[in-house]
Chains A and B, each alone.
Chain A
Amino acid sequence: MKAFLTAVVAMVVIAAGAYQILEVINVSTAKAGTSSENVRLSD
């Protein structure tokens, strides 16, 4: 039971950590196809 609970805690920590790391290094699945920043509509 202890191994299971530890595993679940580790899973949550890894998931939250992965999210934070990807946020910090500015990697996002959504950003690969869209952007709301600095859109130039015309020359």
Chain B
Amino acid sequence: MSRFIAVFLICLPVLLGLSAGSEADAQTNVPPQTSTVDSNPAVSKLDDILRRQEGLKTADDVIRANETGDPDAAMPTTDQLGTLGGASDADLWRAFRFGKADITTQARVPAATTLIQDGGMWWLDFRRGPLQTIAIYLLGGTLLALALFYLIRGRIRIEGEKTGRTLLRFQAFERFGHWMLASSFVLLGVTGLISLFGRTVLIPAFGHEAFSSVAIVCKWVHNNVSWAFMIALIFVFIIWVVHNIPDRTDLRWLAKGGGLIGGGHPPAKKFNAGQKLIFWAVILLGGSISLFGLSLLFPFEFNLFGHTFSWLNGLGAPGWFGFADLPYPLAPQEEMQYAQLWHALISLILTAIIFAHIYLGSIGMEGAFDAMGKGEVEEQWAREHHSIWAEEVAGPKPAARKEP
């Protein structure tokens, strides 16, 4: 035995030396320009990475899907340098991406079941691209059209001789409701646009730190002022819905384009057809904005798109227009993404409509602002623009008449 040990000790340095020598030879024999990247199919090439960043399929997906580590090959956790598993962070995230990881979480919110959502990229791209383009063209185009209209048509004047008498058009509580709806809408619109254009316009202009403070304030205002908007929306609906039910008078008013076609002033009640259109646009679009805003305020609590898509698919509605079925079921994040886009798009449409309303209620028409400013309007203005209503008010209700 002792002889064997002696032989071993003598041979050991020789064996180690030969081994080291052969490794050194091997290292010196490897050409420096040789890369091992191409020989390993599990390692992504630059092209693959760039394609993935563009959201495109890559040739190495199948190989990468299996490169999720091997827990069986891991060192036991009790050993020195033992690991907690046989997968690296990259292996773990790759397993998540390809749905091969056994995921458990203590979080109990619906979104916790989705750690990686590739489908969210189209939303991000749409939000920072086409949505902003739509906003610019829609709002900018509306302002331009109104400016052109003003240049061509000029201010709509009171044609007849002013009487100097006024009629009570809106009572204090009506004006209160209107102004609460209007002021909250303006605040929500401004803060919404700041949020939408923050990354592309405001951060490059003012920097991250300045925009951070603005964004925090905007978020608070947008989230909390929304309640005032919703309350005011319900309030104006209750007080004005009776006066905004469409009737035959509206058809005559629309046929004459509100007086723009053929001149003159078509008869109208308290609200003419144009105002009724504004009213219902505000109620329906504002209601939709509120509904989807609530779904964003309370994330994942109530999902509106998945059920709607399922219902539309059941009807075969997408097929009527040559489209494939709408996606269903939706991930919780997708619900929020659709809700955000809908909320933003409808808000932009309503904002464009409100631009026209503000124009006609201020510089576009003489005497119109008094209705909401003072609550009382020049009798001649009322007889020209709301002849039926003026007759009702000035005739059988002399108490509503006020001498200057």
> Could you list which residues of chain A lie within 8 angstroms of chain B, going by C-beta atoms?
1-4, 6-8, 10-11, 14-19, 27, 29, 32-33, 35, 39-40, 42
Q: Closest approach, in angstroms, between the C-beta of B401 and any C-beta of chain A?
A: 21
Per a CB cutoff under 8 Å, which of A8, A19, A42 touches B224? A19
Enumerate chain B residues within 8 angstroms of A40, measured Cβ to Cβ: 106
Question: When the two chains form their complex, are residues A32 and B300 in contact, meaning their CB atoms are under 8 A apart?
Answer: yes
Question: When the two chains form their complex, are residues A15 and B228 in contact, meaning their CB atoms are under 8 A apart?
Answer: yes
Question: When the two chains form their complex, are residues A3 and B231 in contact, meaning their CB atoms are under 8 A apart?
Answer: no
Question: When the two chains form their complex, are residues A33 and B109 in contact, meaning their CB atoms are under 8 A apart?
Answer: yes
Question: When the two chains form their complex, are residues A32 and B231 in contact, meaning their CB atoms are under 8 A apart?
Answer: no
Beyond the given A11-B183, A42-B84, please list 8 additional residue pairs across the A-B interface where CB-CB is below 8 A: A3-B175, A3-B179, A3-B375, A7-B176, A7-B232, A8-B179, A10-B180, A18-B224
Question: When the two chains form their complex, are residues B228 and A10 in contact, meaning their CB atoms are under 8 A apart?
Answer: yes
8 A Cβ contacts from B285-310 to A: 296-301
Task: Count residues of B near A (Cβ-Cβ below 8 Å).
Answer: 33
Q: Closest approach, in angstroms, between the C-beta of B75 and any C-beta of chain A?
A: 17
Enumerate chain A residues within 8 angstroms of B111, measured Cβ to Cβ: 32-33
Secondary structure class of chain B's binding surface, majority of residues? helix
A39 to B220, CA, bound (A): 27
Question: When the two chains form their complex, are residues B300 and A1 in contact, meaning their CB atoms are under 8 A apart?
Answer: no
Measured CB to CB, the nearest residue on chain B to A43 is: B104
* 5 closest residue pairs by CB, A with B: A7-B179, A3-B175, A7-B180, A15-B224, A11-B228
8 A Cβ contacts from B206-227 to A: 220-221, 223-225, 227
B37 within 8 A of A: no
B7 within 8 A of A: no
Can you sample 22 A-B contacts with CB below 8 Å?
Answer: A3-B375, A7-B175, A7-B177, A7-B178, A7-B179, A7-B232, A8-B183, A10-B176, A11-B225, A14-B227, A15-B221, A15-B227, A18-B224, A18-B227, A29-B223, A29-B296, A29-B297, A29-B299, A32-B298, A32-B299, A33-B111, A35-B107
A27 to B184, CA, bound (A): 22
Question: When the two chains form their complex, are residues B297 and A11 in contact, meaning their CB atoms are under 8 A apart?
Answer: no
B172 within 8 A of A: yes
Question: When the two chains form their complex, are residues A2 and B172 in contact, meaning their CB atoms are under 8 A apart?
Answer: yes
A34 to B301, CA, bound (A): 15
A38 to B101, CA, bound (A): 24
Enumerate chain A residues within 8 angstroms of B297, measured Cβ to Cβ: 29
B373 within 8 A of A: yes
A14 to B227, CA, bound (A): 7
A29 to B178, CA, bound (A): 29
Measured CB to CB, the nearest residue on chain A to B223 is: A29
Q: Closest approach, in angstroms, between the C-beta of A33 and any C-beta of chain B?
A: 6
Enumerate chain A residues within 8 angstroms of B179, measured Cβ to Cβ: 3-4, 6-8
Question: When the two chains form their complex, are residues A27 and B228 in contact, meaning their CB atoms are under 8 A apart?
Answer: no
Enumerate chain B residues within 8 angstroms of A17, measured Cβ to Cβ: 227
Q: Closest approach, in angstroms, between the C-beta of A38 and any C-beta of chain B?
A: 8
Enumerate chain A residues within 8 angstroms of B109, measured Cβ to Cβ: 32-33
